[in-house]
Chain A
Amino acid sequence: MEKSFFNTIADALRNWLMNGLGFSDTAAQLTATAIWTLVVILFILMNLIVLVWLERKFSAFFQQRRGPNRLGPAGFLQFPVDIVKVLGKEDIIPANADKTVFKIASTCLFITTILAWAVIPLGDGVILADLNIGLFYFLAIGSTATVSLMMGGFSSNNKYSLIGGMRTVAQMISYEIPMIFSLLGVVMMVGSLRLSDVVAAQQNMWFIVPQAIAFLVYFVATVAETNRGPFDLAEGEQELVAGYFTEYSGIRYAIWMIAEYGNLVAVSTIASIMFLGGWNAPFGLTFIPGFVWLLLKIYFMIFLFMWVKWTYPRIRIDHLMHFGWKFLIPVSLANILVTGIGIYVYRLIIG
Protein backbone atom coordinates (compact mmCIF):
# COMPACT_ATOMS: atom_id res chain seq x y z
CA MET A 1 0.00 0.00 0.00
CA GLU A 2 2.66 2.46 1.00
CA LYS A 3 4.74 1.19 -1.89
CA SER A 4 2.27 2.66 -4.31
CA PHE A 5 2.10 5.84 -2.22
CA PHE A 6 5.83 6.56 -2.11
CA ASN A 7 6.50 5.25 -5.58
CA THR A 8 3.68 7.41 -6.97
CA ILE A 9 5.39 10.45 -5.53
CA ALA A 10 8.74 9.37 -6.97
CA ASP A 11 7.22 8.64 -10.40
CA ALA A 12 5.31 11.92 -10.40
CA LEU A 13 8.51 13.75 -9.54
CA ARG A 14 10.41 12.00 -12.33
CA ASN A 15 7.63 12.72 -14.82
CA TRP A 16 7.51 16.36 -13.82
CA LEU A 17 11.28 16.68 -14.17
CA MET A 18 11.32 15.00 -17.58
CA ASN A 19 8.21 16.47 -19.15
CA GLY A 20 7.72 19.68 -17.23
CA LEU A 21 11.32 20.83 -17.08
CA GLY A 22 12.69 18.94 -20.09
CA PHE A 23 15.35 16.97 -18.18
CA SER A 24 16.98 13.99 -19.85
CA ASP A 25 16.45 10.52 -18.40
CA THR A 26 19.78 10.46 -16.54
CA ALA A 27 19.41 14.00 -15.23
CA ALA A 28 15.92 13.24 -13.92
CA GLN A 29 17.22 10.10 -12.24
CA LEU A 30 20.10 12.00 -10.67
CA THR A 31 17.82 14.78 -9.43
CA ALA A 32 15.37 12.29 -7.97
CA THR A 33 18.24 10.53 -6.17
CA ALA A 34 19.53 13.85 -4.86
CA ILE A 35 16.08 14.71 -3.51
CA TRP A 36 15.83 11.27 -1.91
CA THR A 37 19.22 11.80 -0.25
CA LEU A 38 17.96 15.10 1.11
CA VAL A 39 14.87 13.35 2.46
CA VAL A 40 17.07 10.79 4.20
CA ILE A 41 19.20 13.53 5.79
CA LEU A 42 16.03 15.33 6.89
CA PHE A 43 14.76 12.06 8.34
CA ILE A 44 17.97 11.73 10.39
CA LEU A 45 17.70 15.32 11.62
CA MET A 46 14.01 15.01 12.49
CA ASN A 47 14.76 11.84 14.40
CA LEU A 48 17.46 13.72 16.25
CA ILE A 49 14.96 16.30 17.50
CA VAL A 50 12.64 13.60 18.83
CA LEU A 51 15.47 11.44 20.18
CA VAL A 52 17.20 14.13 22.20
CA TRP A 53 13.89 15.04 23.78
CA LEU A 54 13.08 11.37 24.43
CA GLU A 55 16.53 10.73 25.87
CA ARG A 56 16.17 13.61 28.30
CA LYS A 57 12.64 12.63 29.27
CA PHE A 58 13.57 8.96 29.74
CA SER A 59 16.67 9.71 31.76
CA ALA A 60 14.59 12.02 33.94
CA PHE A 61 11.93 9.33 34.30
CA PHE A 62 14.48 6.68 35.30
CA GLN A 63 16.08 9.04 37.79
CA GLN A 64 12.78 10.36 39.16
CA ARG A 65 13.32 13.86 37.90
CA ARG A 66 11.10 15.95 35.66
CA GLY A 67 13.46 16.62 32.78
CA PRO A 68 12.90 19.56 30.43
CA ASN A 69 9.48 21.02 31.20
CA ARG A 70 9.52 24.75 30.54
CA LEU A 71 9.37 25.31 26.79
CA GLY A 72 6.46 23.91 24.86
CA PRO A 73 4.42 20.83 25.75
CA ALA A 74 6.50 18.65 28.13
CA GLY A 75 9.59 20.65 27.23
CA PHE A 76 9.52 19.57 23.59
CA LEU A 77 10.71 22.96 22.35
CA GLN A 78 13.81 22.85 24.54
CA PHE A 79 15.89 21.20 21.83
CA PRO A 80 15.18 23.68 18.98
CA VAL A 81 16.26 26.42 21.37
CA ASP A 82 19.38 24.42 22.20
CA ILE A 83 20.18 24.14 18.49
CA VAL A 84 20.19 27.92 18.22
CA LYS A 85 22.43 28.07 21.28
CA VAL A 86 24.89 25.54 19.83
CA LEU A 87 24.99 27.32 16.47
CA GLY A 88 25.78 30.59 18.19
CA LYS A 89 28.70 29.21 20.17
CA GLU A 90 32.29 29.96 19.34
CA ASP A 91 34.05 27.27 17.35
CA ILE A 92 37.14 26.70 19.48
CA ILE A 93 40.11 24.92 17.93
CA PRO A 94 42.94 24.08 20.37
CA ALA A 95 46.21 25.88 19.62
CA ASN A 96 48.34 22.77 19.12
CA ALA A 97 45.67 20.67 17.48
CA ASP A 98 46.13 19.03 14.11
CA LYS A 99 43.83 21.67 12.61
CA THR A 100 42.72 20.17 9.30
CA VAL A 101 42.03 16.73 10.74
CA PHE A 102 40.34 18.29 13.76
CA LYS A 103 38.02 20.26 11.50
CA ILE A 104 36.95 17.45 9.20
CA ALA A 105 36.70 14.62 11.77
CA SER A 106 33.09 15.18 12.82
CA THR A 107 31.97 15.71 9.24
CA CYS A 108 33.66 12.44 8.22
CA LEU A 109 31.59 10.56 10.81
CA PHE A 110 28.44 12.23 9.50
CA ILE A 111 29.37 11.20 5.94
CA THR A 112 29.72 7.55 6.97
CA THR A 113 26.34 7.76 8.69
CA ILE A 114 24.66 9.09 5.56
CA LEU A 115 26.44 6.53 3.37
CA ALA A 116 25.20 3.75 5.62
CA TRP A 117 21.66 5.09 5.29
CA ALA A 118 21.81 4.60 1.51
CA VAL A 119 20.89 0.91 1.78
CA ILE A 120 18.44 1.10 4.68
CA PRO A 121 14.84 0.74 3.51
CA LEU A 122 12.11 2.68 5.31
CA GLY A 123 9.31 0.67 3.78
CA ASP A 124 8.56 -1.62 0.86
CA GLY A 125 10.52 -0.14 -2.03
CA VAL A 126 11.30 3.03 -0.06
CA ILE A 127 15.06 2.77 -0.40
CA LEU A 128 17.84 4.74 -2.02
CA ALA A 129 19.78 1.78 -3.43
CA ASP A 130 18.51 -1.79 -3.02
CA LEU A 131 21.95 -3.40 -3.43
CA ASN A 132 22.23 -7.16 -3.56
CA ILE A 133 24.94 -6.88 -0.91
CA GLY A 134 22.98 -4.30 1.12
CA LEU A 135 23.71 -5.69 4.57
CA PHE A 136 27.39 -6.24 3.81
CA TYR A 137 27.66 -2.68 2.48
CA PHE A 138 26.12 -1.40 5.71
CA LEU A 139 28.68 -3.32 7.80
CA ALA A 140 31.59 -2.22 5.61
CA ILE A 141 30.67 1.45 5.82
CA GLY A 142 30.02 1.09 9.54
CA SER A 143 33.53 -0.24 10.07
CA THR A 144 35.07 2.91 8.59
CA ALA A 145 33.27 5.08 11.15
CA THR A 146 36.02 4.15 13.60
CA VAL A 147 38.54 6.14 11.57
CA SER A 148 36.61 9.38 12.09
CA LEU A 149 36.40 8.84 15.83
CA MET A 150 40.12 8.24 15.90
CA MET A 151 40.74 11.36 13.81
CA GLY A 152 38.81 13.36 16.38
CA GLY A 153 40.57 11.76 19.33
CA PHE A 154 44.05 11.98 17.89
CA SER A 155 43.96 15.47 16.40
CA SER A 156 42.70 17.22 19.54
CA ASN A 157 46.17 17.01 21.09
CA ASN A 158 44.63 16.12 24.42
CA LYS A 159 45.38 13.03 26.49
CA TYR A 160 41.74 12.52 27.41
CA SER A 161 40.74 12.61 23.77
CA LEU A 162 43.57 10.25 22.86
CA ILE A 163 42.62 7.68 25.48
CA GLY A 164 38.97 8.06 24.50
CA GLY A 165 39.85 7.47 20.85
CA MET A 166 41.95 4.41 21.67
CA ARG A 167 39.20 2.93 23.80
CA THR A 168 36.68 3.53 21.04
CA VAL A 169 38.82 1.73 18.50
CA ALA A 170 39.53 -1.25 20.72
CA GLN A 171 35.87 -1.50 21.63
CA MET A 172 34.46 -1.04 18.14
CA ILE A 173 36.84 -3.51 16.52
CA SER A 174 36.09 -6.13 19.18
CA TYR A 175 32.33 -5.75 19.00
CA GLU A 176 32.14 -5.56 15.23
CA ILE A 177 32.93 -9.28 15.07
CA PRO A 178 30.01 -10.59 17.18
CA MET A 179 27.72 -8.07 15.46
CA ILE A 180 28.58 -9.42 12.00
CA PHE A 181 28.39 -13.02 13.21
CA SER A 182 24.99 -12.48 14.80
CA LEU A 183 23.61 -11.09 11.54
CA LEU A 184 25.13 -14.03 9.67
CA GLY A 185 22.62 -16.42 11.24
CA VAL A 186 19.75 -14.47 9.68
CA VAL A 187 21.56 -14.23 6.34
CA MET A 188 22.03 -18.02 6.35
CA MET A 189 18.31 -18.53 6.84
CA VAL A 190 17.37 -16.06 4.10
CA GLY A 191 20.16 -16.88 1.66
CA SER A 192 20.50 -13.26 0.55
CA LEU A 193 22.20 -10.07 1.70
CA ARG A 194 19.52 -7.87 0.15
CA LEU A 195 17.54 -6.21 2.91
CA SER A 196 14.21 -6.34 1.07
CA ASP A 197 14.66 -10.12 0.65
CA VAL A 198 15.27 -10.42 4.39
CA VAL A 199 12.00 -8.65 5.12
CA ALA A 200 10.13 -10.69 2.53
CA ALA A 201 11.36 -13.90 4.21
CA GLN A 202 9.79 -12.83 7.51
CA GLN A 203 6.21 -12.71 6.34
CA ASN A 204 5.16 -15.70 8.44
CA MET A 205 7.60 -15.57 11.34
CA TRP A 206 9.93 -12.89 12.61
CA PHE A 207 13.54 -13.98 12.88
CA ILE A 208 13.63 -13.01 16.54
CA VAL A 209 11.92 -16.36 17.23
CA PRO A 210 14.47 -18.75 15.64
CA GLN A 211 17.38 -16.34 16.15
CA ALA A 212 16.69 -15.09 19.68
CA ILE A 213 20.32 -15.56 20.77
CA ALA A 214 21.56 -13.74 17.67
CA PHE A 215 19.20 -10.89 18.48
CA LEU A 216 20.58 -10.57 22.01
CA VAL A 217 24.18 -10.72 20.77
CA TYR A 218 23.37 -8.12 18.11
CA PHE A 219 21.74 -5.88 20.69
CA VAL A 220 24.70 -6.00 23.08
CA ALA A 221 27.22 -5.57 20.27
CA THR A 222 25.42 -2.56 18.81
CA VAL A 223 25.21 -0.90 22.22
CA ALA A 224 29.00 -1.09 22.21
CA GLU A 225 29.26 -0.10 18.54
CA THR A 226 27.25 3.08 19.00
CA ASN A 227 29.21 3.95 22.15
CA ARG A 228 26.14 4.11 24.34
CA GLY A 229 25.87 3.28 28.00
CA PRO A 230 26.66 1.01 29.77
CA PHE A 231 29.45 0.60 27.22
CA ASP A 232 30.19 4.30 26.67
CA LEU A 233 33.71 4.00 28.04
CA ALA A 234 35.03 6.08 25.19
CA GLU A 235 33.36 9.10 26.71
CA GLY A 236 33.18 8.11 30.36
CA GLU A 237 32.59 11.47 31.99
CA GLN A 238 34.18 10.62 35.31
CA GLU A 239 37.43 9.48 33.75
CA LEU A 240 37.81 11.17 30.39
CA VAL A 241 35.73 14.39 30.49
CA ALA A 242 34.00 13.49 27.21
CA GLY A 243 36.46 11.22 25.41
CA TYR A 244 37.24 11.92 21.79
CA PHE A 245 35.08 15.05 21.53
CA THR A 246 36.35 16.77 24.66
CA GLU A 247 37.80 19.68 22.70
CA TYR A 248 34.87 20.15 20.35
CA SER A 249 32.39 22.97 20.68
CA GLY A 250 29.71 24.70 18.70
CA ILE A 251 28.58 23.27 15.39
CA ARG A 252 31.31 20.62 15.21
CA TYR A 253 30.13 19.18 18.53
CA ALA A 254 26.58 19.25 17.19
CA ILE A 255 27.67 17.25 14.14
CA TRP A 256 29.18 14.55 16.39
CA MET A 257 25.85 14.34 18.16
CA ILE A 258 23.84 14.22 14.93
CA ALA A 259 26.04 11.44 13.56
CA GLU A 260 25.83 9.47 16.78
CA TYR A 261 22.05 9.60 16.91
CA GLY A 262 21.93 8.88 13.17
CA ASN A 263 23.96 5.72 13.83
CA LEU A 264 21.63 4.79 16.68
CA VAL A 265 18.61 5.06 14.39
CA ALA A 266 20.48 3.13 11.68
CA VAL A 267 21.35 0.15 13.89
CA SER A 268 17.82 0.17 15.34
CA THR A 269 16.42 0.06 11.82
CA ILE A 270 18.73 -2.81 10.89
CA ALA A 271 17.61 -4.66 14.04
CA SER A 272 13.94 -4.09 13.13
CA ILE A 273 14.54 -5.28 9.59
CA MET A 274 16.67 -8.30 10.44
CA PHE A 275 14.87 -9.56 13.53
CA LEU A 276 11.52 -7.81 14.00
CA GLY A 277 10.00 -8.35 10.58
CA GLY A 278 10.68 -4.94 9.05
CA TRP A 279 7.52 -3.44 7.61
CA ASN A 280 5.52 -6.67 7.94
CA ALA A 281 2.49 -6.08 10.10
CA PRO A 282 2.05 -8.45 13.07
CA PHE A 283 -1.26 -10.26 13.76
CA GLY A 284 -2.55 -9.35 10.29
CA LEU A 285 -3.02 -5.69 11.19
CA THR A 286 -2.35 -4.65 7.62
CA PHE A 287 -4.67 -1.62 7.66
CA ILE A 288 -1.81 0.26 9.37
CA PRO A 289 0.76 1.01 6.65
CA GLY A 290 4.13 -0.75 6.79
CA PHE A 291 6.03 2.49 7.13
CA VAL A 292 4.27 3.16 10.43
CA TRP A 293 4.99 -0.37 11.63
CA LEU A 294 8.66 -0.01 10.81
CA LEU A 295 8.82 3.32 12.61
CA LEU A 296 7.13 1.80 15.66
CA LYS A 297 9.63 -1.05 15.69
CA ILE A 298 12.57 1.34 15.28
CA TYR A 299 11.37 3.38 18.21
CA PHE A 300 10.82 0.25 20.26
CA MET A 301 14.48 -0.67 19.64
CA ILE A 302 15.58 2.86 20.55
CA PHE A 303 13.53 2.61 23.73
CA LEU A 304 15.42 -0.61 24.57
CA PHE A 305 18.74 1.16 23.97
CA MET A 306 17.74 4.03 26.26
CA TRP A 307 16.34 1.69 28.87
CA VAL A 308 19.64 -0.19 29.06
CA LYS A 309 21.66 3.01 29.06
CA TRP A 310 19.90 4.60 32.00
CA THR A 311 19.51 1.41 34.04
CA TYR A 312 22.98 -0.11 34.19
CA PRO A 313 26.17 1.49 35.48
CA ARG A 314 29.16 1.76 33.18
CA ILE A 315 31.42 -1.31 33.22
CA ARG A 316 35.18 -1.37 33.26
CA ILE A 317 37.18 -1.45 30.02
CA ASP A 318 38.90 -4.80 30.64
CA HIS A 319 35.59 -6.39 31.63
CA LEU A 320 34.16 -5.03 28.43
CA MET A 321 36.90 -6.63 26.31
CA HIS A 322 36.65 -9.94 28.17
CA PHE A 323 32.90 -9.97 27.67
CA GLY A 324 33.29 -9.29 23.96
CA TRP A 325 36.05 -11.76 23.17
CA LYS A 326 35.38 -14.55 25.66
CA PHE A 327 31.61 -14.59 25.72
CA LEU A 328 29.93 -12.86 22.77
CA ILE A 329 32.17 -14.22 20.00
CA PRO A 330 31.94 -17.90 21.10
CA VAL A 331 28.18 -17.52 21.56
CA SER A 332 27.69 -15.98 18.14
CA LEU A 333 29.90 -18.65 16.53
CA ALA A 334 27.90 -21.38 18.26
CA ASN A 335 24.74 -19.71 16.98
CA ILE A 336 26.05 -19.93 13.40
CA LEU A 337 26.85 -23.63 13.89
CA VAL A 338 23.43 -24.39 15.35
CA THR A 339 21.72 -22.41 12.60
CA GLY A 340 23.64 -24.33 9.95
CA ILE A 341 22.71 -27.70 11.47
CA GLY A 342 19.14 -26.49 11.88
CA ILE A 343 18.86 -25.51 8.21
CA TYR A 344 20.32 -28.88 7.19
CA VAL A 345 17.89 -30.82 9.38
CA TYR A 346 14.99 -28.68 8.17
CA ARG A 347 15.89 -29.45 4.56
CA LEU A 348 16.16 -33.17 5.37
CA ILE A 349 12.66 -33.17 6.87
CA ILE A 350 11.04 -31.03 4.18
CA GLY A 351 12.90 -32.93 1.48
Chain B
Amino acid sequence: MVMNKNIFHSALFMLITFLGVAAVYFMLHADFMAAVQVLVYGGAITIFLVFGIMLTIRGSMKETNLFSGHAALAGIVSLALVVVNAVMVISTNWSVTGAEPPEETVGSIAELMLTKYVVPFEVAAILLLVALIGAVIIAKEVKKTS
Protein backbone atom coordinates (compact mmCIF):
# COMPACT_ATOMS: atom_id res chain seq x y z
CA MET B 1 0.00 0.00 0.00
CA VAL B 2 2.50 2.61 1.15
CA MET B 3 4.98 0.87 -1.17
CA ASN B 4 2.82 1.91 -4.11
CA LYS B 5 4.76 3.13 -7.14
CA ASN B 6 2.76 6.37 -7.23
CA ILE B 7 3.74 8.51 -4.24
CA PHE B 8 0.39 10.33 -4.30
CA HIS B 9 -1.38 7.02 -3.74
CA SER B 10 1.07 6.22 -0.95
CA ALA B 11 0.13 9.47 0.78
CA LEU B 12 -3.58 8.63 0.51
CA PHE B 13 -2.98 5.17 1.92
CA MET B 14 -1.12 6.79 4.78
CA LEU B 15 -4.27 8.78 5.54
CA ILE B 16 -6.17 5.50 5.83
CA THR B 17 -3.48 4.26 8.25
CA PHE B 18 -3.91 7.38 10.37
CA LEU B 19 -7.68 6.86 10.42
CA GLY B 20 -7.01 3.29 11.57
CA VAL B 21 -4.92 4.61 14.48
CA ALA B 22 -7.81 6.94 15.31
CA ALA B 23 -10.13 3.93 15.35
CA VAL B 24 -7.76 2.19 17.80
CA TYR B 25 -7.93 5.22 20.10
CA PHE B 26 -11.70 5.17 19.80
CA MET B 27 -11.83 1.49 20.76
CA LEU B 28 -9.79 2.39 23.84
CA HIS B 29 -12.51 4.90 24.84
CA ALA B 30 -10.16 7.81 24.16
CA ASP B 31 -12.65 9.75 22.01
CA PHE B 32 -10.79 13.02 22.30
CA MET B 33 -7.48 11.46 21.27
CA ALA B 34 -9.23 9.85 18.29
CA ALA B 35 -10.62 13.20 17.16
CA VAL B 36 -7.21 14.85 17.63
CA GLN B 37 -5.64 12.10 15.55
CA VAL B 38 -8.13 12.70 12.74
CA LEU B 39 -7.72 16.48 12.95
CA VAL B 40 -3.93 16.65 13.17
CA TYR B 41 -2.78 13.63 11.18
CA GLY B 42 -5.71 13.18 8.81
CA GLY B 43 -6.55 16.82 8.30
CA ALA B 44 -3.17 18.53 8.50
CA ILE B 45 -0.15 16.27 8.05
CA THR B 46 -1.51 14.31 5.08
CA ILE B 47 -2.55 17.58 3.47
CA PHE B 48 0.93 19.03 3.81
CA LEU B 49 2.46 15.88 2.35
CA VAL B 50 0.10 15.95 -0.62
CA PHE B 51 0.70 19.68 -0.96
CA GLY B 52 4.43 19.03 -1.18
CA ILE B 53 3.83 16.37 -3.82
CA MET B 54 1.66 18.75 -5.81
CA LEU B 55 4.27 21.51 -5.76
CA THR B 56 7.04 19.18 -6.94
CA ILE B 57 4.91 17.46 -9.54
CA ARG B 58 6.57 15.64 -12.46
CA GLY B 59 5.18 14.76 -15.85
CA SER B 60 4.31 11.22 -14.97
CA MET B 61 3.36 10.03 -11.53
CA LYS B 62 4.70 6.56 -12.19
CA GLU B 63 7.95 5.67 -10.42
CA THR B 64 7.70 8.73 -8.21
CA ASN B 65 8.08 6.73 -5.04
CA LEU B 66 11.80 6.01 -5.11
CA PHE B 67 11.65 3.69 -2.13
CA SER B 68 9.07 1.36 -3.59
CA GLY B 69 11.79 -1.13 -4.59
CA HIS B 70 12.61 -1.97 -0.99
CA ALA B 71 9.36 -3.81 -0.32
CA ALA B 72 11.07 -6.96 0.99
CA LEU B 73 13.32 -5.01 3.36
CA ALA B 74 10.36 -2.98 4.63
CA GLY B 75 8.41 -6.19 5.13
CA ILE B 76 11.19 -7.69 7.26
CA VAL B 77 11.51 -4.54 9.38
CA SER B 78 7.72 -4.36 9.90
CA LEU B 79 7.56 -8.04 10.79
CA ALA B 80 10.40 -7.61 13.30
CA LEU B 81 8.56 -4.63 14.79
CA VAL B 82 5.34 -6.62 15.09
CA VAL B 83 7.16 -9.52 16.74
CA VAL B 84 8.96 -7.24 19.23
CA ASN B 85 5.68 -5.48 20.04
CA ALA B 86 3.87 -8.78 20.49
CA VAL B 87 6.58 -10.08 22.82
CA MET B 88 6.44 -6.87 24.84
CA VAL B 89 2.66 -6.94 25.06
CA ILE B 90 2.57 -10.57 26.15
CA SER B 91 5.44 -10.33 28.63
CA THR B 92 4.21 -7.16 30.35
CA ASN B 93 2.09 -7.53 33.44
CA TRP B 94 -0.88 -5.30 32.62
CA SER B 95 -2.71 -4.02 35.66
CA VAL B 96 -6.42 -4.51 35.16
CA THR B 97 -8.94 -2.31 36.94
CA GLY B 98 -12.66 -2.82 37.13
CA ALA B 99 -13.29 0.91 36.89
CA GLU B 100 -15.44 2.26 34.10
CA PRO B 101 -13.59 4.36 31.51
CA PRO B 102 -14.19 8.05 32.19
CA GLU B 103 -17.05 9.58 30.24
CA GLU B 104 -15.44 12.98 29.79
CA THR B 105 -11.72 13.01 29.01
CA VAL B 106 -11.31 16.57 27.74
CA GLY B 107 -11.39 18.23 31.15
CA SER B 108 -8.91 15.88 32.79
CA ILE B 109 -6.49 16.12 29.84
CA ALA B 110 -6.59 19.91 30.08
CA GLU B 111 -6.05 19.82 33.84
CA LEU B 112 -3.06 17.49 33.56
CA MET B 113 -1.56 19.56 30.77
CA LEU B 114 -1.69 22.79 32.75
CA THR B 115 -0.58 21.34 36.11
CA LYS B 116 1.57 18.22 36.05
CA TYR B 117 2.81 18.43 32.47
CA VAL B 118 2.96 22.20 32.15
CA VAL B 119 6.71 22.27 31.36
CA PRO B 120 6.58 19.89 28.36
CA PHE B 121 3.46 21.71 27.20
CA GLU B 122 5.22 25.08 27.26
CA VAL B 123 8.34 23.64 25.64
CA ALA B 124 6.20 22.33 22.78
CA ALA B 125 4.65 25.78 22.47
CA ILE B 126 8.11 27.39 22.24
CA LEU B 127 9.12 24.81 19.64
CA LEU B 128 6.11 25.76 17.54
CA LEU B 129 6.93 29.44 17.95
CA VAL B 130 10.47 28.80 16.73
CA ALA B 131 9.12 26.91 13.72
CA LEU B 132 6.71 29.77 12.99
CA ILE B 133 9.46 32.40 13.13
CA GLY B 134 11.65 30.22 10.92
CA ALA B 135 8.87 29.96 8.35
CA VAL B 136 8.34 33.72 8.36
CA ILE B 137 12.08 34.36 7.88
CA ILE B 138 12.29 31.90 4.98
CA ALA B 139 9.27 33.50 3.33
CA LYS B 140 10.82 37.00 3.71
CA GLU B 141 14.15 35.93 2.20
CA VAL B 142 12.38 34.68 -0.90
CA LYS B 143 10.65 38.00 -1.30
CA LYS B 144 13.91 39.98 -1.08
CA THR B 145 15.78 37.97 -3.69
CA SER B 146 12.99 37.83 -6.24
Q: Which residues of A contact B (CB under 8 A)?
A: 98, 101, 131-133, 136-137, 139-144, 146-147, 150-151, 154-155, 162, 165-166, 169, 173, 176, 193
Neighbouring B residues of A165 by C-beta, 8 Å: 54
Q: Is the CB of B31 within 8 A of A132?
A: yes
Neighbouring B residues of A131 by C-beta, 8 Å: 31
Q: Name B15's closest neighbour in chain A (CB-CB).
A: A147
Q: Is the CB of A166 within 8 A of B8?
A: no
| Interchain CB contact (< 8 A) of B47 among A133, A146, A162 | A146
Q: Is the CB of B54 within 8 A of A166?
A: yes
Q: Is the CB of B12 within 8 A of A151?
A: yes
A100: min CB distance to chain B, Å: 8
Q: Is the CB of B54 within 8 A of A162?
A: yes
Q: A132-B103, A132-B106, A133-B32 are in contact. Are A141 and B38 (CB under 8 A)?
A: yes
B43 beta carbon closer than 8 Å to chain A = yes
Known contacts A136-B32, A144-B42, A147-B46; 4 further A-B pairs (Cβ under 8 A):
A98-B9, A136-B35, A140-B39, A147-B15
Residues of chain B from 31 to 56 with CB closer than 8 A to chain A in the complex? 31-32, 35-36, 38-39, 42-44, 46-47, 50-51, 53-55
In the bound complex, how far is the Cα of B103 from the Cα of A136, in angstroms?
15
B57 beta carbon closer than 8 Å to chain A = yes
In the bound complex, how far is the Cα of B104 from the Cα of A193, in angstroms?
10
> Secondary structure at chain A's binding surface: helix, strand, loop or mixed?
helix
Q: Is the CB of B106 within 8 A of A193?
A: yes
Neighbouring B residues of A101 by C-beta, 8 Å: 8-9, 12
B55: min CB distance to chain A, Å: 8
A142: min CB distance to chain B, Å: 8
Neighbouring A residues of B8 by C-beta, 8 Å: 98, 101, 154-155
B71 beta carbon closer than 8 Å to chain A = no
B6 beta carbon closer than 8 Å to chain A = yes
A104: min CB distance to chain B, Å: 9
A236: min CB distance to chain B, Å: 18
In the bound complex, how far is the Cα of B108 from the Cα of A184, in angstroms?
18
Neighbouring A residues of B106 by C-beta, 8 Å: 132-133, 136, 193
Q: Which residues of B contact A (CB under 8 A)?
A: 6, 8-9, 12, 15, 31-32, 35-36, 38-39, 42-44, 46-47, 50-51, 53-55, 57, 61, 103-104, 106
| Interchain CB contact (< 8 A) of A139 among B39, B46, B55 | B39
Q: Is the CB of B47 within 8 A of A169?
A: yes
In the bound complex, how far is the Cα of B38 from the Cα of A139, in angstroms?
10
Neighbouring B residues of A154 by C-beta, 8 Å: 8, 50, 53-54
Neighbouring A residues of B15 by C-beta, 8 Å: 144, 147
In the bound complex, how far is the Cα of B46 from the Cα of A70, in angstroms?
47
Q: Is the CB of A143 within 8 A of B35?
A: no
Q: Is the CB of B61 within 8 A of A98?
A: yes
Q: A101-B9, A101-B12, A132-B104 are in contact. Are A147 and B35 (CB under 8 A)?
A: no
Q: Is the CB of A137 within 8 A of B47?
A: no
| Interchain CB contact (< 8 A) of A147 among B36, B50, B55, B103 | B50
Neighbouring A residues of B103 by C-beta, 8 Å: 132
Q: Is the CB of A173 within 8 A of B54?
A: no
A263: min CB distance to chain B, Å: 15
What are 8 A-to-B residue pairs whose CB atoms are below 8 Å? A101-B8, A101-B9, A132-B106, A142-B43, A143-B39, A147-B47, A169-B51, A176-B43
Q: Is the CB of A137 within 8 A of B35?
A: yes
Q: Is the CB of A166 within 8 A of B39?
A: no
Q: Is the CB of A166 within 8 A of B51?
A: yes
Q: Name A96's closest neighbour in chain B (CB-CB).
A: B60
Q: Name A146's closest neighbour in chain B (CB-CB).
A: B47
Neighbouring B residues of A150 by C-beta, 8 Å: 47, 50-51, 54
B23: min CB distance to chain A, Å: 13
Task: List the 7 shortest-distance A-B pairs measured between CB atoms, nearest first.
Answer: A143-B43, A140-B39, A140-B38, A140-B35, A144-B42, A136-B35, A144-B43
In the bound complex, how far is the Cα of B103 from the Cα of A68, in angstroms?
52
In the bound complex, how far is the Cα of B106 from the Cα of A142, in angstroms?
20
Q: Is the CB of A146 within 8 A of B43?
A: yes
Neighbouring B residues of A155 by C-beta, 8 Å: 8
